[in-house]
């Protein structure tokens, strides 16, 4: 079973590379943002619970997100594996995910982290904001998002490294170069 977590800071190219990787491995990309919106739209029990928090402007609690992920990975298209994109974001979430997967007889096989220096990320995100006309993505908000990532999500690297599941991939280069580096990390993956 191919069960992968795709990590990296905002602007590292996770979304683009995840699509390529999922096509290559023939597994679905499980994006927590997408499945939260889908669960709310479909009116599932977990979706209705998530909607309560979202409507109040609160963050959806980990227990609800884990419940939604549990529902999603139980679907037939996840039978031979899946790529988690956007979750976990903290060690606490990773531990909850491990417990969930263990209860279903699954485990994360590989955690791939796309590594890009902060100054490069800042330039990429400013350029993307300019192209997409996103006035909310200015230098101050981008720096704040990167700081939050470094504080809350970077500890996941130690977590997965200690389990022998972490692959660090240089995310600087053109699309094809980065894809080849990821493929090299997954060459003996199964």
Domain coordinates of the chain in residue numbers? 2-185
- CA-to-CA distance for 30 and 43, rounded, in angstroms? 19
Task: Write down the mean pLDDT value for the chain.
Answer: 89
Single out the catalytic residue among 14, 51, 72, 124: 14
145 is catalytic: yes
Catalytic, 163? Answer no
Assigned token pair, 46: 């977990």
- Mention the CATH class of domain 2-185: alpha beta
Range with lowest mean pLDDT among 20-29, 86-95, 140-149: 140-149
Active site residue 14: yes
Q: Is 60 annotated as a binding residue?
A: yes
What is the distance of C-alpha 38 from the center of its chain? 17
47 or 169: whose pLDDT is higher? 169
Per the residue annotation, which of 128, 143, 152, 168 is the catalytic one? Answer: 128
Any binding-site annotation on 124?
Answer: no
- In sequence order, the 6+-apart residues with CB closer than 8 A to the CB of 159 are 91, 94
State yes or no: pLDDT of 135 exceeds 90: no
Of residues 141 and 82, more confidence is placed in: 82
Its pTM stands at 0.85
* Catalytic choice (145, 152, 165, 168): 145
* Cα–Cα distance measured from residue 82 to residue 166, given in angstroms and rounded to the nearest whole number: 16
Q: Which of 70, 89, 110, 168 is catalytic?
A: 89
To which residue do tokens 């977990």 refer?
A: 46
Closest to 120 measured CA to CA, from 13, 5, 7: 13
Rounded average pLDDT over 124-152:
84
Tokens of 161: 């490294």
Q: Which of 14-18, 126-130, 186-190 has the lowest mean pLDDT?
A: 186-190
Q: Is the pLDDT of residue 190 over 60?
A: no
Q: What pLDDT, on the 0 to 100 scale, is given for residue 189?
A: 62
Let me know if 72 is a catalytic residue.
no
pLDDT at 129: 85
Known binding residue 76? Answer is: no
Catalytic residue among 134, 151, 180, 184: 134
How much of the chain exceeds pLDDT 90, in percent? 51
pLDDT at position 115 is: 95
**pLDDT tens-digit series, residues 34-77:** 888 888 888 888 888 888 887 776 778 888 888 888 888 999 99
The confidence score (pLDDT) of residue 167 equals 94
| Rounded alpha-carbon distances, angstroms, from residue 110 to 3, 27, 137, 168, 178 | 7, 14, 31, 11, 17
105 appears as a binding residue in the annotation: no
Q: Is 164 annotated as a binding residue?
A: no
């Amino acid at each position: 079973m191919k069960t992968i977590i795709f990590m990296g800071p905002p602007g590292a190219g996770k979304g683009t590379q995840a699509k390529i990787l999922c096509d290559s491995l023939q597994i679905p990309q499980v994006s927590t943002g997408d499945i939260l919106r889908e669960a709310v739209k479909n009116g599932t029990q977990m979706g209705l619970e998530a909607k309560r928090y979202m409507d109040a402007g609160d963050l959806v609690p980990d227990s609800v997100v884990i419940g939604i992920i549990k529902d999603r990975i139980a679907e037939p298209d996840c039978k031979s594996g899946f790529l988690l994109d956007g979750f976990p974001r903290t060690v606490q979430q990773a531990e909850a995910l491990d417990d969930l997967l263990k209860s279903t007889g699954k485990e994360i096989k590989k955690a791939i982290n796309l590594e890009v220096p902060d100054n490069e990320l800042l330039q990429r995100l400013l350029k993307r904001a300019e192209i997409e006309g996103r006035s909310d993505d200015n230098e101050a908000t981008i720096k704040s998002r990167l700081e939050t990532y470094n504080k809350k999500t970077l500890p996941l690297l130690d977590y997965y490294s200690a389990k022998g599941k972490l692959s660090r991939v240089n995310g600087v280069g053109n699309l094809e170069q980065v894809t080849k580096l990821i493929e090299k990390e997954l060459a003996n993956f199964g």
